[in-house]
Chain A
Amino acid sequence: MRNSLPDKKGHFGIFGGKYVIETLMPALNELENAYHEAKRDREFHRELHKYLSEYAGRPTPLYFAKRLTEKLGGARIYLKREDLCHTGAHKINNTLGQLLLTKRMGKKRVIAETGAGQHGVATATAAALFGIECEIFMGEEDIERQSLNVFRMKLLGAKVTPVSSGTKTLKDAMNEALRNWITTVRDTHYVVGSTAGPHPYPMIVRDFQSVIGHETKLQILAREGRLPDYLIACVGGGSNAMGIYYSFYNDKKVKFIGVEAAGYGLNTGYHGASLAKGKVGVLHGSKSYVLQDDDGQIKPAHSISAGLDYPGVGPEHSYYKKTGRAKYVSATDKEALKAFELLSKTEGIIPALESAHAIAYTSKFAKKLNKNKIIVVCLSGRGDKDVNQVAKFMGEKL
């Protein structure tokens, strides 16, 4: 059994809910109904499973990181290899599911926000696969730091619309996508990319991503004959983390650790650590921990990784924090860069900068543990998209 949340109104304790303008309420209700119907429909599951295995490459391997484990000299470290998914990150799990829902609802067009570009690419990919028109909203600053993904989206036939308002990053991309949806809601489905946004999105995205944890459980049992002691994942909006946690929810001995972006440092004001430093608020349609000032204005986030550069977090993570089910820590830009190199050199795996945050914390944490402990890290994406940016930081000219 997993937890039975959210409740009927989309609440995880005091968090979650549907905080959107009336224009969108009917569409959210329609989506919720379509999703519940699909969930009961065997054909839907069969089709999703077919695409996940034949197209996206699931199940992804659970890999024992021997050299990393030896180097750190503590707990045994496994990597759940979401970086090996088609398009290079876990995002495709969700977009395939949501595009199948789009087809069911008879909508002709999808829109999405993207930060690092991974969700944009995954949405554009699934849209191309099903022949559905696609428009992606992306902050101008992210377009700059993730130019490779911008070109990929265009190649996949999507229109990429730059967003120049606010901080020109993920938060503003989501603002613009929601504004566009208010106008186009009758024929358009909004493919939210994280476990954030108004109900039913946090639930739908979690469910589509829960394949990560479901596989992990079978794989670790086959390999070690027992469940892991720790699951570690990076948290921006929190979809890869929720994806790996969810199937273990009732296995209370399995500890969840989420790693937020500490940017320049948690006390500098330049970070993306909503759970560590935020207060309860409403951003993008749900109640959760939000980086904000005393007047309720949203504070800009900062992270070297565009996917974690977000002042909010999914409501279920806020619930896990409040109830103590998960512990949330953070890693700075510098630590993430170091981990980026560490994993590349010890295992021959170049991680996404987002996932490098999870590796960064793991590299500190694993050392302190006994050799009989087991950690599974969700390696949510690969780092090809970040190579240009990292080279710049390291002073290398490409």
Chain B
Amino acid sequence: MGRIEEKFDELKGKKEKALIAFISAGDPDIDTTKSLVLEMERRGADIVELGVPFSDPLADGPVIQKSYLRALKGKTSLKKIIKMVKELRKKTDVPIVLMSSYNPVLRYGEVKFVNDAVISGIDGVIIPDLPPEESDNLCKMASQKGLDTVFLLAPTSDDERMKLICGRSCGFIYYISVTGITGARKSLSDNIGRMVKKIKRFTDLPVAVGFGVSSPEQAEKVARYSDGIIVGSAIVKIIEKTGQDRKRLVKKVGKFIKGLKEAISPTNRQKI
């Protein structure tokens, strides 16, 4: 069993929901990313998602676009990120998932990527612009080596695509809560619960919901309908705003994570 499956099982036993925290690797630098991963785990993140910076990320809003540019200024690359995770693995067993556009992975080489990712202790990969139709090669190698390939479903997906993607995804299903790109939203769709329920008809995998979830209130609401929530832009925004003071930055992100975890904890959900 991989770390991701183990984590979801463990949470299920405790009737808890997963908090999946996204940051861009290398923003503002690789060392700070390491500290952030450890601090986020300590304060309640169940799974850490690391964004691989890309010059032209199509599914991302301005907050993550800018964070990728900051990371690229520091010459962050997929190679450096894989090396960083290897070092992190001496200190933590938190499940780590990479989120990357397809081109950096393709350039790195799919075979080499899967091998190096698994050796370094990366548990899964999400490639938003690699739909199941184009993923045969990567999925075959990933399943041989034990790297979870997580696929996304969207509000626009019909039953047929749900079936296709549920049959292809490993680790969990990433449900995109909004018809749109990443970034905070004032309000979220009322349809999330209904869609998650529908997805569950096609799979026993956990369903985590992301894109637009940015506040503890939204986290609480979405956690009610799903097995986990994914928060990205809201964390990255804190990093953007805090800027140069690394220590303060790590502390602030940790505090925000704690707030999110509390919001989705069973005791809190019972109160509401």
Contact = CB atoms under 8 A, between A and B. Distances in A.
B59 interface: yes
B110 to A, nearest CB: 12
Contacts of B134: 9, 17-19
Interface residues of B, number: 41
Contacts of A178: 58
A172 B65 CA distance: 12
Nearest to B129: A19
B102 A19 contact: yes
A297 B55 contact: yes
B100 to A, nearest CB: 9
A165 B181 CA distance: 16
B79 A295 contact: yes
Interface stretch (B29-37, B40-48, B150-158): B150-158
Nearest to A175: B56
Contact of A21 (B58, B62, B77, B107): B58
Contact of B161 (A26, A172, A175, A281): A26
Contacts of B209: none
A60 B101 CA distance: 42
The 5 closest A-B pairs by CB, nearest first: A296-B107, A296-B104, A23-B154, A183-B180, A295-B77
Contacts of A296: 54, 78, 103-108
A186 B189 CA distance: 15
Interface in B178-234: 179-181
B146 interface: no
Interface in B149-176: 151-158, 161, 165, 176
B130 interface: yes
Contacts of B104: 295-297
A27 B176 CA distance: 16
Contacts of A144: none
A183 B177 CA distance: 12
Interface residues of A, number: 37
B161 A23 contact: no
Interface of B: 54-56, 58-62, 65, 72, 77-79, 101-108, 128-131, 133-134, 151-158, 161, 165, 176, 179-181
Given A9-B133, A18-B134, A27-B156, A281 B176 contact: no
Nearest to B175: A22
Interface centre among A24, A166, A280, A296, by most chain B C-beta atoms within 10 angstroms, is A296
A14 to B, nearest CB: 11
A298 interface: yes
Given A279-B107, A297-B104, 16 more contacts: A22-B131, A22-B153, A22-B165, A25-B154, A27-B156, A166-B56, A171-B56, A172-B56, A179-B58, A179-B181, A283-B103, A285-B58, A295-B78, A295-B108, A296-B54, A297-B55
A54 interface: no
13 contacts: A19-B134, A22-B128, A22-B157, A22-B161, A27-B156, A165-B65, A179-B58, A179-B181, A183-B181, A296-B54, A296-B78, A296-B106, A296-B107
A171 B57 CA distance: 12
B36 to A, nearest CB: 22
B56 A281 contact: no
Given A21-B58, A22-B165, A295-B78, A183 B154 contact: no
Contacts of B154: 21-23, 25
A182 B107 contact: no
B156 A26 contact: yes
Contacts of B106: 280-282, 296
Interface string A11-48: 00000011111111111000000000000000000000
A20 B58 contact: yes
Contact of B58 (A22, A175, A186, A290): A175
Given A20-B58, A292-B107, A298-B55, A26 B158 contact: yes
Nearest to B66: A165
A224 interface: no
Interface string A150-166: 00000000000000011
Interface of A: 9, 17-27, 165-166, 171-172, 175, 178-179, 182-183, 185-186, 279-285, 290, 292, 294-298
Contacts of A295: 77-79, 104, 107-108
A171 B102 CA distance: 17
Contact of B102 (A24, A282, A294): A282
A284 B55 CA distance: 12
Given A21-B129, A282-B102, A282-B129, A294 B107 contact: yes
B129 A298 contact: no
B129 to A, nearest CB: 5
A183 B161 contact: no
A24 B133 CA distance: 13
Given A179-B181, A294-B107, A22 B176 contact: yes
B182 to A, nearest CB: 10
Nearest to B78: A295
Contacts of A27: 156
Given A279-B107, A296-B78, A18 B133 contact: yes
Contact of B128 (A21, A26, A172, A297): A21
Given A295-B104, A296-B107, A166 B133 contact: no
B70 to A, nearest CB: 14
Contacts of B61: 179
A173 to B, nearest CB: 12
A165 to B, nearest CB: 7
A141 B130 CA distance: 31
Given A26-B157, A26-B161, A297-B72, A19 B181 contact: no
A297 B176 CA distance: 25
Contacts of B72: 297
Nearest to B62: A165
A175 B54 CA distance: 12
A18 B134 CA distance: 7
Contacts of A182: 58-59, 179-181
Nearest to B180: A183
Given A179-B181, A297-B72, A22 B107 contact: no
